[in-house]
Amino acid sequence: MSKNIEIVYKQDFSTPCGVMVALASDTHLLELTFGDSVLLEKTLQRRKVITAMNSILQETKRYLAAYFKKQFLDLKYPPYLLSGTPLQLATWSALADINLGTTITYKQMAHTVNRPTAYRAVGRIIGQNYFDIMLPCHRVIGTHNNLCGYAHGLTIKRWLLEHEDAT
């Protein structure tokens, strides 16, 4: 029996925070993450990757350029595809609702997704976010307003929050 391996397009983008890697199909962005991502390595193992630009990756490039130039009113998300459990989808969707320049605690996020005692599980799900910056997991902080729990390091988390004037 042969495994069906999905073909995706890959592009690396230089940013002030390091290299970001985007994976896309012909119709959706599948992943946008920093190059050190463990999730990215797992994704690359399951797919045939072609390093080439397509229309979705062009939109992603424009999005990143606007974000890093602080042209926040010009941000246009490329179409992206989420898949996961109901709690994962609820958590990742809730990330998209955190306004620019604001933060929320892991505990508040657990309440937002109607799982008030599951803040550790919600935190793990946030750490599995496939769309860095777009689904702003960096805006989720500890209960006492401390920076914690960012997969790419607290230096990048702090930089992103300062960039968005959220500190």
Contact between residue 60 and residue 25 where contact means Cβ atoms under 8 Å apart: no
φ, ψ of residue 94 in degrees (nearest 5)? -65, -35
Q: Can you read off the two tokens belonging to residue 1? A: 């029996």
Per-residue b or e along 54-88, where b marks 16 or more CB atoms closer than 10 Å to that residue's CB = bebbebbeebbeebbeeeeeeeeebebeeeeeeeb
Q: Can you read off the two tokens belonging to residue 9? A: 């397009």
Select which of 137, 140, 151, 156 is catalytic: 137
Whole-angstrom distance, CA of residue 74 vs CA of residue 66: 6
Contact between residue 17 and residue 157 where contact means Cβ atoms under 8 Å apart: no
Q: Where are the alpha helices (DSSP H) in 12-96?
A: 38-45, 55-68, 86-96
Q: Is 137 a catalytic residue?
A: yes
Q: Which residues participate in catalysis according to the annotation?
A: 137
